[in-house]
Amino acid sequence: MGRKKRVNTRGKNGEDIAVKYLETHGYRILDRNYTTEIGEVDIFATDEHTLIAVEVKSRLSLDYGTPAEAVGHEKIKKISQVTAQYIKRFRLFGVQVRYDIIEVYLENKTVNHIVNAFDSYLNY
């Protein structure tokens, strides 16, 4: 019998809250959990002018720092590379790209949307 994949319910709940937040603020969700051999982008969204790669970080407390502090150099590199693959796959050449982080505080279900949280060093 094969092993079942463990579901990260905290992460999924945080992503669900983030999607709801984005939709209520006028964003259109293009993809969730877009995965390649390099890694994953939690959400691809658009505001009709910009492709937005969103990293969602959920926390129950600040015991280990803010959620955004968990997005380090290696994670930024992977998000940038996956975004480049997304652009190539869907032929979105010339589109403006932005990288956001959404912090979700699960205890009170609040959201902190960090617009343009980091820059990519990749050229599209």
pLDDT of amino acid 61: 87
Residue 18 · residue 102 · CB < 8 Å: yes
User: How far apart are alpha carbons 12 and 17 in whole angstroms?
Assistant: 9
Q: What are phi and psi of 106, to 5 degrees?
A: -70, -30
Average pLDDT, stretch 3-31? Answer: 85
The predicted pLDDT at position 86 comes to: 98
Read off the pLDDT band of 11 (50, 70, 90): confident
Cα 43 to the center of its chain, rounded Å: 5
Q: What percent of the chain has pLDDT over 90?
A: 79
Query: How does residue 1 score in pLDDT terms, banded at 50, 70 and 90?
Result: very low
Mean pLDDT of 24-28: 98
Distances (CA, A) of 90 to 59, 83, 87, 94: 32, 11, 5, 12
Mean pLDDT across 29-36: 98
Check whether 71 has a pLDDT greater than 60. yes
pLDDT of residue 10: 65
Q: Each residue of 73-111: pLDDT tens digit?
A: 999 999 999 999 999 999 999 999 999 999 999 989 899
123 Cβ contact list (under 8 Å, min separation 6): none
Where in 1-124 does DSSP place strands (E)? 28-35, 40-46, 50-59, 96-105, 110-114
